[in-house]
Structure 1
């Protein structure tokens, strides 16, 4: 793949990509356009040897990440770089609006939430309708979302306010619900496209040849959409028929997302109650077997055992009592 500021060329071979580049350079020359060598880069996927693509005897640089139309595209098909960049940009917007909006007592909470949705959330979730996110990545986005809401509402960890109460005060949903809603809306939008459109061909296309390598395959966009449909209680086999009816689809999507959000909050509340109700037996001790240190709690013992066993492997000649001292 070859990326420029506003163009992308894709090919399966080095020679094919070079021919495309030559044709593109010739077309630019016909219209008196100049291709910037510094802004044009080459990115490969699973290529044993980096390709050698040149423009007018100037070799292009091969990179692993490239920012294309505001989004970061990685050679390993990972969203980690894109999500980190989105969080960084959203954090910068939050800091710029700190004094003028978040700390402004003349603005109501409703106004602050509108500004947060328009400026921060739009920056954080830019292009998220096409993301294929894992649970860890969604949790990372939701943690940043909750931290921003607590900052706007003036809530600290010492107040011991649950996430459900924070969302209720802000009248917003979690990032999980926002991502599901955006993905499903884009899914229906692509489904309604005419035949021959590139997004629809990619969504419904199948490979003619090739075999899947050993191991777990990469998460596909279709897999994420199936997961969202299941969480929204929408039939996977008949969602296309439902999508053809716009009003019925809007009602089903909204009610399904709200129901999934309620179930998620109930599960979190149930886990929190179980955690609070857990009481250690009175005769339970939390002493390390390696250095006999009293850690006073189960989580403290677990954390200490990891560091203590690592120190014992690094320095086996030391006495076992040194770790407790």
Structure 2
């Protein structure tokens, strides 16, 4: 790793650039090896870090990122409380603002992540709670109004279904691309077959692969693999 770091520093120096060691972070992934700066001082390892607006976790799981963006979306939703209670704004206008200012935060970066069933339920639960607030429908325990009815009144679908639609669109765009790092991480070069997983398979149940799971839904939507 130190060799790669030195190579990056050398390449940047050719263009008058230098590494800012104070902003350089070390994220360990299945490794306890120490990485040193050119001064000999070791980098402080982190379990997670924010990169390009998304949270990267050392274990590769998206649950921390989901919790973070739900927290960000919650703060944005509460900041717009006066909008949701405004009597002049129409219901459709409020829903439009909600999707533009809150749901867009939830979707950022999740298009390329496959969430577990538990995480999808968390996403759907947050979405419906927000809709109830906007539509002024109390919790089902008091109002006896089901989540399905809330979605029908908002003329909407579960957020996990909306996310899946975006993932399917992105999957199709990747398939139509020429070979590149993003496409080759999902498909075999020059083909529309899924790429094989690299490395040895660990013990236990394997993690859900984004490409494999979205491909299954693409086959279901198309009516068969031969229709893709």
CA contact (8 A) 2:25 2:43 kept: yes
User: Corresponding residue for 2:191?
Assistant: none
CA apart distance, 1:89: 0.5
Match of residue 84 from structure 1:
67
Which of 199, 206, 213 matches 2:202? 213
Residue 153 of structure 2 aligns with which residue?
A: 169
- Alignment check: 8 A CA contact 1:45 1:76 kept: yes
Distance 1:184 1:208 in 2: 20
Q: CA deviation at 1:227?
A: 4.0
- Map residues 96-115 of structure 1 onto 2, 5 A cutoff: 96-99=79-82, 101-115=83-97
CA distance in 2, matches of 1:212, 1:239: 31
> Residues 95 and 208 of structure 1: is their aligned pair in 2 closer, same or farther, counting only changes over 3 Å?
closer
Does the 8 Å CA contact 1:133/1:224 hold for their aligned counterparts? Answer: no
Which residue among 219, 222, 226 is the counterpart of 1:234?
Answer: 222
1:56 deviation in Å? 4.0
Contact 1:43-1:62 within 8 A present in 2 as well? yes
- The corresponding residue for 1:37 is 21
CA contact (8 A) 2:26 2:43 kept: yes
Question: Any stretches of 5+ residues in structure 2 without a counterpart?
Answer: 189-194
Q: Taking structure 1 as reference, are residues 51 and 111 closer, same or farther at Cα in structure 2, changes over 3 Å only?
A: same
The reply to whether residue 145 of structure 1 matches residue 127 of structure 2 is yes
Q: Distance in 2 between matches of 1:214 and 1:24?
A: 35
CA RMSD of aligned residues (A): 1.9
Per the alignment, do residues 178 and 30 of structure 1 end up closer, same or farther by CA in structure 2, a change over 3 Å counting? same
Alignment partner of 1:26 is 2:15: no
Task: Say if 1:37 and 1:234 are closer, same or farther in 2 by CA, change over 3 A.
Answer: same
Contact 1:149 1:166 in 2 (8 A): yes
User: Which of 114, 125, 128 is residue 132 of structure 1 equivalent to?
Assistant: 114
Q: 1:210 to 1:82 in 2, by over 3 A?
A: closer
Q: Which residue of 2 aligns with 1:265?
A: none
Stretch of structure 1 that moved more, 23-32 or 206-215: 206-215
Structure 1 match to 2:176: 192
Number of residues paired by the alignment? 220
Distance in 2 between the 1:235 and 1:23 partners?
49
Q: Which runs of 5+ in 1 are unaligned?
A: 1-16, 241-325
Greater RCO, CA 8 A, separation 6+: 2
Cα pair 1:226 1:236 within 8 Å, conserved: no
1:25 to partner: Cα distance: 1.2
| Shift, 1:160, TM fit | 1.4
Aligned counterparts of 1:103 and 1:39: Cα–Cα separation in 2: 42
Q: Which has the larger radius of gyration?
A: 1
Q: Is the contact between residue 129 and residue 182 of structure 1 (CA under 8 Å) also seen in structure 2? A: yes
Q: TM-score, normalised by structure 2?
A: 0.89
